[in-house]
Amino acid sequence: MNSPLISKSKQFALNILNVCNKVKSEKRESVLTNQLVRSGTSVGANIREAFYGHGKADFIAKLQIALKECAESEYWIELLIDGGYYADRAILSECIEIKKLLISSINTAKKNSN
């Protein structure tokens, strides 16, 4: 399956793992990073699941779950940055881009399901 949403969310998950491993090793912080690993990797998993859903309603529901996980990831990333644990804001920009893609995809899917 060749979807920008699938490929971007998979790369995001890999980047999240790298960020969290770096923060854990350098700052010895694990509470925030453990939360971020869960939500950040869940985004792509739910997107992938959406493409194999049972109809349009299931597709939309899985994308909405992915959107919630993305919003949660954005929160954990902001805490890491604002708390001084991580300085590179590129991961935050990547998260926001995926969030916008998810919102657009959900809106398009809802419009096309009527």
Q: Which domain holds residue 17?
A: 4-113
Nearest to 62 by CA among 18, 24, 109: 109
pTM across the whole model: 0.94
Model pLDDT, residue 1: 66
CATH value at residue 69: 1.20.1440.60
Lowest mean pLDDT: which of 21-25, 37-41, 109-113?
109-113
pLDDT tens for 65-107 read 999 999 999 999 999 999 999 999 999 999 999 999 999 999 9
Quote the number of domains for the chain. 1
Model pLDDT, residue 53: 86
Buried b (16+ CB within 10 A) or exposed e, 55-77: eeeebbbbbbbbbebbebbbebb
Mean pLDDT across the chain:
95
What is the spatial distance between Cα 12 and Cα 91, in angstroms, rounded to a whole number? 8
Q: Residues with Cβ < 8 Å from 94, sequence gap 6 or more?
A: 8, 11, 12, 15
Model pLDDT, residue 113: 81
